[in-house]
C-alpha cells in the first residue's frame, strides 16, 4: 500500500486502482527495468560512450557497484542527489546506481548555475550533487565548491573526472572502486508508488517547480512511449539532447530504449559533425532533436557529397520541445531519408506523438496525440468551459503518468490544477477530429527559446536587482533560428545596460546563461491593461 507522501499529492485511490487494473501501473521499480534485461539479454549492448561499451550484464553490475559505493558513504533509500552531468555513460551508471539504492536523482540541466542548483538543493534537501569536472568550457567544480558552502545537508559531491582537489569531493571512479566485488547492498526496495526521480518544470511562478515522478508512472511512460515509437531490441537510440531532459530520458529516450532491450548511444552534442558519424558507426535507428537543430541537420546533410549514406540506418527523427515549423517538417523525409515523429511533451507528464503510420499531412502539421488510452485531454476557454473541436483553448490533462500536484508546493494546487485533478498545461491548442493536437500558443508567462523554457517572472525578479532598473518585463519575440528569443523591456534611470553588461551581471548572480535577455528595450513606462497589469501583448507587438 503506497501512502501518498506529504511532499506531493499523489493520485486519488480510485485512479490508482484504475491504473493498476488497466495494466498501466505495475508492481515494479525502475531498477527492475535494467535487472530484467540483464537476465534476459546479458550480452546485448546496452550503452555506448565513445569507445566504451557496456552490455546489459555489465551495466547492471556497474550500477550495483556504484550503489554499493554510495551506500558505503551513507546514501540511503529516499535520499535526493542532484545530478548535473553531460551526456556521458556516467550519467546512466550513477542514475541506475541511485535507482538500485532507492535514492532519488534530481535532474539538473548542464546550463544551470548557482541560482538554479541552490534552489534544487534547498527544495529537495539533497545530500549529494554530481558534476563533471569540466564541460562546455565551464568548470563545475567551482560551482560545486560554492554551493557546498551554502548547503549544510549536502554531504557528497561526486565529480566525474578530476576532483581538482575540491575538499569533500569524491571522484566517480573512486566511488565505484570503493566497492569490493559483489558487494551490492542488501536491497532496500522502494515501493512502486514512491518517488523515483525529480524533474524541473519550465516553471511560470517565479521559482522553478519540481515534479515528482514515481517508479510506476515513469516506468509506464517509458513503456507507452517505446510502443508509440515502435522501439524493439534492435533499436539504437542516440541521446543527442541533454540526457536529463525528460524528452531524452523517457519519451521514449534512454529509459524507453532500455525497456525495449535496445542500445543507447551517448552523443556529447547534437551537432552534425558529432552526431552523423556516431549514427553511421553505431547504426543508430532513432534520435530526438529540438526544432532549432532541424534546419542545421537538413543543411548539413544536403551539403554532403552525393552518395554519402551516413544517416542510412536512421528510421525515425523525433522533434519536440517547441513548435516545429510545417515547412521544416515537410523537408525531413525527403532530405534525411527517415520518418519524422513530432513530440509534444512535458516534464509534468502528458506526451503526444504523431504515429509512424499517420498520414504525412498530420505528421507534418500537428504535434501528435496522447500516447496512452489513459490520457484524458480537455480544451477549455478562459472560464474553464470546453470549446468545440477545432476551436483554440487551453489544454488540460490528467492520466496515469501526469502529476496531480507539484513537489513541496501546495500553494500551486489551485492555480495549476482543476478541482477534479486536471493539470493546466498553459498551452493553447486546437484539437483535430482525429484527436491530433496543434499547439498554437500559450497562456503561461514563459519564453520557449528553441525548447529551453524561460520563466518570465523569475528573470524579471533578477532584472530588478540591476542598479537603476525600476521595472522589468520579459517577453518573447519571434526568431528565425530559435523560434523565440527573449526581449527585456526596462524602465531605468539613466542609460540602459547593454546585453553583454546585463549578461555579466546575471551570470554574477548565478543565473543560467540561457535566461539572459537576447535584447533590451528601454522604455519610459509600460503599457497597461484595463485592470492595470503590464500589457505583455502590447510589448510583444512592439518587440517584433
Residues that bind ligand J2J (CB under 6 A): 201-202, 246-247, 251, 320-323, 342-347, 351, 367, 425, 427, 439, 442, 448, 453
Q: Which CB atom, from 323 or from 404, has the smaller least distance to ligand J2J?
A: 323
CB of 74 to ligand J2J, least distance (A): 32
CB of 97 to ligand J2J, least distance (A): 23
Q: Which string of DSSP letters, residue by residue, matches 289-323?
A: E-TTHHHHHHHHHHTSPTT--TTTT--EEEEESSP
CB–CB of 109/101 below 8 Å?
A: no
> Measured between alpha carbons, how far is 160 from 517 in angstroms, rounded to an integer?
32
Q: Which CB atom, from 41 or from 330, has the smaller least distance to ligand J2J?
A: 330
Backbone angles phi, psi at 372, to 5 degrees: -120, 140
CB of 222 to ligand J2J, least distance (A): 11
* Nine cell digits for residue 419: 478541482
Which run of H or E residues covers position 519? strand 519-522
CB of 246 to ligand J2J, least distance (A): 3
Using alpha carbons only, give the angle 91, 93, 97 rounded to the nearest 5 degrees.
115
* Nine cell digits for residue 390: 477545432
Nearest residue to ligand J2J on Cβ basis: 345
Q: Among candidates 83, 102, 92, 78, which has minimal Cα distance to 29?
A: 102
CB of 368 to ligand J2J, least distance (A): 8
Helix, coil or strand: residue 79: coil
CB of 404 to ligand J2J, least distance (A): 16
> Measured between alpha carbons, how far is 47 from 92 in angstroms, rounded to an integer?
9
The position carrying cell 497589469 is 533
Strands (E), 381-517: 392-398, 423-431, 437-442, 446-449, 452-455, 469-479, 483-492
* Nine cell digits for residue 206: 517565479
Which run of H or E residues covers position 349? strand 349-353
Q: Which CB atom, from 100 or from 422, has the smaller least distance to ligand J2J?
A: 422
CB of 472 to ligand J2J, least distance (A): 23
Which run of H or E residues covers position 48? strand 45-49
CB of 345 to ligand J2J, least distance (A): 3
CB of 81 to ligand J2J, least distance (A): 21
- Upper half-sphere CA count for residue 186 (Cβ side, 13 Å): 0
Q: Which CB atom, from 148 or from 251, has the smaller least distance to ligand J2J?
A: 251
CB of 402 to ligand J2J, least distance (A): 11
Q: Which CB atom, from 115 or from 436, has the smaller least distance to ligand J2J?
A: 436
CB of 410 to ligand J2J, least distance (A): 21
User: What b/e readout covers 59-79, taking b as 16+ CB neighbours within 10 angstroms?
Assistant: bbbbbbbbbbbbbeeebebeb
Q: Which CB atom, from 141 or from 416, has the smaller least distance to ligand J2J?
A: 416
Q: Which CB atom, from 367 or from 409, has the smaller least distance to ligand J2J?
A: 367
- What is the number of other CB atoms lying within 10 angstroms of the CB of residue 495? 8
Q: Which CB atom, from 243 or from 322, has the smaller least distance to ligand J2J?
A: 322
Q: Which CB atom, from 163 or from 235, has the smaller least distance to ligand J2J?
A: 235
Q: Among candidates 501, 492, 479, 478, which has minimal Cα distance to 521?
A: 492
CB of 473 to ligand J2J, least distance (A): 20
Task: Identify the DSSP state of 515.
Answer: G
Q: Among candidates 203, 290, 248, which has minimal Cα distance to 482?
A: 290
> Measured between alpha carbons, how far is 277 from 295 in angstroms, rounded to an integer?
18
CB–CB of 329/320 below 8 Å?
A: no
Q: Which CB atom, from 321 or from 405, has the smaller least distance to ligand J2J?
A: 321
CB–CB of 73/285 below 8 Å?
A: no
- Cα–Cα distance list, 298 to 200, 276, 332 (Å): 31, 12, 7
CB of 13 to ligand J2J, least distance (A): 27
> Measured between alpha carbons, how far is 22 from 235 in angstroms, rounded to an integer?
27
CB of 317 to ligand J2J, least distance (A): 13
Q: Which CB atom, from 278 or from 439, has the smaller least distance to ligand J2J?
A: 439
Q: Which CB atom, from 62 or from 445, has the smaller least distance to ligand J2J?
A: 445
Q: Which residues contact 49 (CB under 8 A, 6 or more apart)?
A: 88, 89, 265, 266
Q: Which CB atom, from 358 or from 427, has the smaller least distance to ligand J2J?
A: 427
Q: Which string of DSSP letters, residue by residue, matches 7-19?
A: TS----HHHHHHH
Q: Which CB atom, from 243 or from 343, has the smaller least distance to ligand J2J?
A: 343
Amino acid at each position: 500500500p503506497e501512502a501518498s507522501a506529504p511532499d506531493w499529492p499523489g493520485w486519488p485511490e480510485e485512479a490508482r486502482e484504475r491504473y493498476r487494473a488497466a495494466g498501466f501501473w505495475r508492481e515494479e521499480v525502475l531498477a527492475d527495468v535494467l535487472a530484467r534485461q540483464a537476465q534476459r539479454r546479458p550480452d546485448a549492448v546496452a550503452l555506448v560512450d565513445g569507445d566504451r561499451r557496456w552490455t546489459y550484464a555489465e551495466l547492471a553490475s556497474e550500477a550495483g557497484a556504484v550503489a554499493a559505493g554510495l551506500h558505503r558513504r551513507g546514501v540511503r533509500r529516499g535520499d535526493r542527489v542532484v545530478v548535473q552531468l553531460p551526456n556521458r555513460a556516467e550519467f546512466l551508471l550513477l542514475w541506475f546506481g541511485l535507482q538500485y539504492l532507492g535514492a532519488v536523482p534530481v535532474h539538473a540541466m548542464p546550463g544551470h548555475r548557482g541560482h538554479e542548483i541552490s534552489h534544487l538543493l534547498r527544495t529537495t534537501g539533497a545530500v549529494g550533487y554530481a558534476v563533471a569536472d569540466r564541460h562546455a568550457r565551464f568548470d563545475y567544480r567551482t560551482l560545486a565548491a560554492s554551493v557546498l558552502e551554502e548547503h549544510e545537508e549536502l554531504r557528497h559531491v561526486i565529480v566525474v573526472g578530476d576532483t581538482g582537489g575540491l575538499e569533500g569531493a569524491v571522484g566517480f571512479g573512486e566511488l565505484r572502486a570503493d566497492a569490493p566485488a559483489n558487494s551490492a547492498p542488501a536491497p532496500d526496495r522502494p515501493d512502486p508508488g514512491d518517488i523515483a526521480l525529480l524533474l524541473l518544470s519550465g516553471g511560470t511562478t517565479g521559482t522553478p517547480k519540481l515534479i515528482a515522478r514515481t517508479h510506476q508512472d515513469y516506468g509506464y511512460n517509458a513503456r507507452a512511449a517505446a510502443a508509440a515509437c515502435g522501439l524493439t531490441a534492435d533499436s539504437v537510440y542516440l541521446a543527442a539532447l541533454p540526457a536529463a531532459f525528460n524528452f531524452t530520458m523517457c519519451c521514449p529516450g534512454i529509459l524507453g530504449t532500455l525497456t525495449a532491450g535496445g542500445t543507447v548511444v551517448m552523443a556529447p552534442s547534437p551537432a552534425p559533425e558529432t552526431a552523423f558519424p556516431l549514427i553511421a558507426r553505431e547504426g543508430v535507428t532513432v534520435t530526438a532533436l529540438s526544432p532549432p537543430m532541424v534546419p542545421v541537420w537538413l543543411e548539413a546533410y544536403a551539403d554532403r557529397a552525393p552518395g554519402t549514406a551516413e544517416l542510412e540506418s536512421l528510421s525515425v527523427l523525433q522533434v519536440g520541445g517547441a513548435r516545429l515549423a510545417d515547412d521544416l517538417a515537410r523537408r525531413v523525409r525527403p532530405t534525411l531519408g527517415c520518418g519524422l515523429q513530432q513530440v509534444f511533451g512535458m516534464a509534468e507528464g502528458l506526451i503526444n506523438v504523431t504515429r509512424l503510420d499517420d498520414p504525412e499531412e498530420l505528421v507534418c502539421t500537428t504535434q501528435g496525440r496522447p500516447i496512452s488510452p489513459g490520457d484524458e485531454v480537455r480544451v477549455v476557454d478562459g472560464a474553464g468551459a470546453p470549446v468545440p473541436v477545432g476551436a483554440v483553448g487551453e489544454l488540460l490533462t490528467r492520466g496515469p503518468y501526469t502529476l496531480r500536484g507539484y513537489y513541496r508546493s501546495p500553494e500551486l494546487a489551485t492555480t495549476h490544477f482543476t478541482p477534479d485533478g486536471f493539470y493546466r498545461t498553459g498551452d493553447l491548442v486546437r484539437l483535430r477530429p482525429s484527436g491530433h493536437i496543434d499547439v498554437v500558443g500559450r497562456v503561461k508567462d514563459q519564453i520557449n527559446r528553441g525548447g529551453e523554457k524561460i520563466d518570465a517572472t523569475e528573470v524579471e525578479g533578477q532584472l530588478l536587482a540591476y542598479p537603476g532598473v525600476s521595472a522589468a518585463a520579459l517577453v518573447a519575440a519571434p526568431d528565425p533560428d530559435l523560434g523565440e528569443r527573449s526581449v527585456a523591456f526596462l524602465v531605468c534611470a539613466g542609460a540602459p545596460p547593454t546585453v553583454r553588461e546585463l549578461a555579466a551581471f546575471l551570470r554574477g548572480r548565478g543565473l543560467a546563461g540561457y535566461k539572459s535577455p537576447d535584447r533590451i528595450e528601454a522604455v519610459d513606462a509600460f503599457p497597461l491593461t484595463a485592470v492595470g497589469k503590464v500589457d505583455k501583448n502590447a510589448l510583444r507587438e512592439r518587440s517584433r
